Chains A and B, each alone.
Chain A
Amino acid sequence: MMGDWQVYWLFLQQGIASGLVTGSIYALLAIAIVIIFKTTDAPNFAAGEIFMAGAYIALYLVIFSQIAYVIAVPVTLGVTFILSALFYRVVLRRIGVSPAVAVNVVIATLGLSFVLKGIVRNTGFGDVPRSFPAVFGADTIQIGDAVLTMQDVAVFALALLAMVIFFVFFNYTRTGRAMRAVGMNPRAAALVGIDLHRTRMLIWGLSGLLSALAAILIAPKILMTADMGIVVILGFAAAIVGGFTSLPGAVVGGLIIGIVENLVGLFVSTRAIVVAPFIVIMLVLAVRPQGLFGGPTVIKKV
């Protein structure tokens, strides 16, 4: 009997440790999704493909052009920033971003997702699964009874660092505060002189950058295909669990989803991993329809 409990205790520690690593990536993706939803009033269904495009740009630079990581990574982040910002500038500015046209915005982002997938499939390196080389070694370290690779630890540390930088930027810089203002009340933001279009364009760029960063961090852990954007569903799951408009919620949601996924894999079966996040979503929403950190549901007045 004692033996069983020791195994469970080991599983629990390993599940939480591995869960925090993957969860931190989901948290980054969830932030990328939430900042767009808050300022554009529609979810970005191309989030997965922007993430995928980021991974492939990095792959192209590192493997096919043999460019060093220190240059390849910033270039990847910059290119994804520009691509996302351009999509806002060219397409969404024309469609508009009011709740009345939210469906149209969603369909346009779906269009973008098809375009990106098609482009990657046609470039010649999106047709076969590829793997991304790990930067940090496969040496392991032990925390409690859980075992993590150095790569895992580095991923977690970098994701955490990115989140800290992001929170500082969002709370203490002029541009970051303008972004928050647009998310809270676009009309009031416009009245105090914030350029709505420019701010939203920057938000889209920033969201693309965060997705690309998540992609570079997680790429060595997964197989790269043009359909790898499916991972971002877990970012959506994280955002929903956290309340979809709350940034702390996105982070907590990401960690919860990561941990639940790993625990289900260890305790139930690896086949059930796929469905675990959806069960978490349905459970959380059934009890709290606005998510964990979402404010009270606002009912529109007549």
Chain B
Amino acid sequence: MTRASYIVVAVLAGGLLVLLPLLGSGYIVYLANLMLVYIVLALGLNILIGETGQFGLAHVAFYGIGIYTTAILTGRFDVPFLVAAAAGVLLAGSIGLLLGYVSFRMRDIYLALSTFAFGEAMQWVYRSWDAVTNGPNGMRIKPAELFGARIATDHDAYPFILTATIIIIAATVWLRGSRLGRAFRAVRESEPAALAMGVDVRRAKVIAFALSAAYAGAAGGMFATFSSFIHPDSLGFTETILVVTMIVVGGLGSISGAIVGALVLGAVQELLRQAPSYQEIIYGVILILFMMYLPKGLAGAVGNLARRAG
């Protein structure tokens, strides 16, 4: 594709996104909101797994921190919404920083499994800390108030969520080209080589953990604007795996891949709800076929096509 055709696609997509609330019903807008949240989750996990090569599997735990922090601060302490969401991002980021420090010596499977353990432990906390999270009954989220307007419907939340997502995508693109982004990729390719080039490997890994967690926290804050309820069961390993499959199906280490993967798998999940009894089988088969025939993900496949087309 030429530069001009990229711009055309971008303008068309942008127009569609702006017009969506006018065209779509409440359900469509709800889906759009959810997909945007998934995009932010996928971008965050892509920084850790795709860019830095660190197999953290606790992503949804940080998403939960974002949701619960925002919900508790606005609901019980009447903190302004943006402050509460920012607190969620900070808390998720700080706990991510801690997890990064604890686990920076671990690699590959050990890292995957210890972060998995952390994720499971966090879900247990959400389920059992009745006084704070209302435990297994789930928790109501108070409708958000933003710039004086009360957000009661998915339509109200959409402009805010779209803006937040665009800002986050822009920040991700900037990060990728920055010194830190290059340090991430150097660590992924070879730690000793990165070290020899003067990259502080430990610092890069810990920052990647913290950033990735902060993204998940931000996604949690976004979720809290349009959702009125959170249940610990939706913050389990399956959800983390959904985000992992999004970035792998999209193409690891690619920003557009993470976005497309979030959209495609988000759409597949929703479509499969129409056939609940076959949902798991079809979803499983799709994953297996993707890995068999498109191992580099959609981004890789599109890249190959473009190269063949010249």
Chain A residues within 8 Å of B, Cβ to Cβ: 37, 43, 91, 94-95, 101, 103-105, 107-108, 110-119, 121-122, 233, 236-237, 240, 244, 271, 274-275, 277-279, 281-282, 285-286, 289-291, 297, 299-302
Contacts and interface: CB of A to CB of B under 8 A. Distances in A.
B244 interface: yes
Contact of B113 (A116, A240, A302): A240
Contact of B284 (A94, A101, A113, A281): A113
Interface string B165-185: 000000000000000000000
Contact of A275 (B121, B278, B291): B121
Contact of A299 (B110, B121, B191, B252): B191
The SS class assigned to the B binding surface is: helix
A111 B124 contact: no
Interface in B264-282: 277-282
B248 interface: yes
Contacts of B114: 240, 281-282, 285
Interface string B243-275: 011001100100000000000000000000000
B106 A114 contact: no
A119 B283 CA distance: 12
Contacts of A301: 192
B295 interface: yes
Residue with the highest number of chain B CB atoms closer than 10 Å, among A103, A115, A240, A281: A103
Nearest to A278: B117
A233 B190 CA distance: 31
Contact of B292 (A94, A110, A119, A289): A94
29 contacts: A37-B109, A91-B288, A103-B248, A104-B295, A107-B245, A107-B248, A108-B292, A110-B287, A111-B287, A111-B288, A111-B291, A114-B280, A115-B284, A115-B285, A116-B284, A118-B278, A236-B113, A244-B110, A274-B124, A275-B120, A277-B117, A278-B118, A278-B120, A282-B118, A282-B121, A290-B110, A297-B107, A300-B190, A300-B191
A114 B281 contact: yes
A302 B196 CA distance: 10
Contacts of B105: 289
A103 B288 contact: no
B114 to A, nearest CB: 5
A115 B288 contact: yes
B193 interface: yes
Contacts of A286: 102
Given A103-B252, A114-B283, A271 B128 contact: yes
B107 A117 contact: no
A302 B244 contact: no
B280 to A, nearest CB: 3
A236 B114 CA distance: 11
B286 interface: yes
Residue with the highest number of chain B CB atoms closer than 10 Å, among A91, A116, A118: A118
A108 B192 contact: no
Given A107-B249, A112-B284, 18 more contacts: A94-B292, A103-B49, A104-B295, A105-B291, A107-B245, A110-B284, A110-B287, A113-B284, A114-B284, A114-B287, A115-B288, A118-B283, A233-B120, A278-B117, A278-B121, A282-B117, A300-B190, A302-B190
A122 B295 CA distance: 29
Given A286-B102, A289-B110, A299 B192 contact: yes
Contacts of A244: 109-110, 113
B18 interface: no
B109 A115 contact: no
A113 B283 CA distance: 10
A117 B285 CA distance: 12
Contact of B241 (A110, A118, A290): A110
A236 B252 CA distance: 25
Contacts of B117: 237, 277-278, 281-282
Given A95-B295, A107-B291, A43 B109 contact: yes
B288 A112 contact: yes
Contacts of A237: 117
Nearest to B288: A111
Contacts of A299: 191-192
Contacts of B248: 103-104, 107
A108 B248 CA distance: 11
A114 B249 CA distance: 16
A268 B288 CA distance: 42
Interface string B110-146: 1011100110110010001000000000000000000
B253 to A, nearest CB: 11
| 8 tightest Cβ-Cβ pairs between the two chains A and B | A114-B284, A118-B280, A111-B287, A118-B281, A115-B284, A111-B288, A278-B117, A108-B291
